[in-house]
Amino acid sequence: MANVVVVGAQWGDEGKGKIVDWLSERADVIARFQGGHNAGHTLVIDGEVYKLHALPSGVVRGGKLSVIGNGVVLDPWHLLSEIAGLREQGVEISPETLMIAENTPLILPFHGELDRAREGQNSVAKIGTTGRGIGPAYEDKVGRRVIRVADLADRATLTLRVDRALIHHNALRSGLGLEPIDRDALIAKLEEVAPGILEYAGPVWKVMNEQRKAGKRILFEGAQGALLDIDFGTYPFVTSSNVISGQAATGTGIGPGSIDFVLGIVKAYTTRVGEGPFPTELDDADGQMLGERGHEFGTTTGRKRRCGWFDAVLVRQTCATSGVNGIALTKLDVLDGFDELRICTGYELDGEMLDYLPTAADKQARVVPVYETLEGWQDTTEGARSWADLPAAAIKYVRRVEELINCPVALLSTSPEREDTILVTDPFAD
């Protein structure tokens, strides 16, 4: 059976939550493979709004196994709080429906403190971090001093891991003017939370491979967007993990040959939260209209998103680095009512034409978008569930996007509602 990876193909906030939920009905396993609770997925199901940060979107669907893979960094206190909140909304979560990889790194309170202290004291160039400790936790993972889920099961191992981490962090905190970490209090907090986390712990790599061999359909869910990838994003204004599709294998312990289809989620225009380059950003009435109609506020931070015209250069680039087979084009209805629309088809840099975003930060900041203008439409696309429901100009816009990014549209989303989706190609088709 086909296994599908879903990745954001812009700077995040493309509508992955709805698409993953829409696809999850066909899947048996839904796995998060990177990021932390800095991600924010909003699902609207029968009028009920669910806001997820650490949990895979599949948890709101009964009869599915949701997995948090080792590529994720996990705040245990936040996770238990999120589970409790969903239970209050009537969602059943148990060890039969949720599994956490035993080798998943933990985000601890001092990670968030370090994150916020650095951002607050950085007068050179703020990164725009959410301040939730994701970056410092990934640093500890690479530095081989992180505490992992399995460590919670043994007091001696946990104490050893904490002591190793504090040697590093107390030195850092001293330089930042922060108080030393209370070792005993931290261990006590971890021991208190341990039973609630260990209840869900297991060998995810083993279960995932068993599920694949049994012919189960696996949906791999990414967080953020490919332009925030630590290697291929607009560095240093990026997240701290690999976001592109190749991380789905590494972040869950399943081989890359098990991936059959990569679905890139693409908004019909472009948005970004936080700092960093944004070639098509609009500071005019059109940008204001996109933000208001699209309700462009971050699920996690509540920060207003920067808005701009669709950038085909960037999406073409992310489709290449993630090996995208088809895109899910979302929020087409936000473009209803514009007299004309613009699409960025290339960049000009110091008199030279470019068909990609250069790597150097100074060049990224200086590129000038080259636009193509298309006719807008006055009829509504909201709630459309077939091509016949779309205005001719809207279909023309979608077809031009496909041409410019060298990738076909597999799904078209016309509202936040799950069923307002036009299926062109089923990613799960064998």
Give the burial string for 233-262 (b: 16+ CB within 10 Å, else e).
Answer: bbeebbbbbbbbbbbbbebbbbeeebbbbb
13 part of the active site: yes
Q: Are 13 and 267 in contact (CB under 8 A)?
A: yes
195, with CB counted inside 10 A (0-12, 13-18, 19+), is: exposed
Residue 342: phi and psi, rounded to 5, are -125, 145
One DSSP character per residue, 146-179 reads --BGGGGG-HHHHHHHHHHHHHHHHHHHHHHTPP
Identified catalytic residue from 37, 41, 53, 169: 41
Identified catalytic residue from 13, 115, 229, 420: 13
Q: What are the C-alpha distances in Å from 48 to residues 21, 65, 186, 398? A: 13, 21, 37, 30
41 part of the active site: yes
| Residues 201, 206, 207: CA angle, nearest 5 degrees | 70
* Cα end-to-end distance, the chain, whole Å: 6
Look at the block and give the residue holding tokens 């890359």.
Answer: 256
3-state secondary structure of 388: helix
Q: Spell out the residues 6+ positions from residue 352 whose beta carbon is closer than 8 angstroms to its own.
A: none
Q: What are the C-alpha distances in Å from 152 to residues 98, 102, 147, 207? A: 18, 10, 8, 21
Cα–Cα distance for residue pair 286/235, rounded to 1 Å: 28
Report, as residue numbers or ranges, the catalytic residues. 13, 41
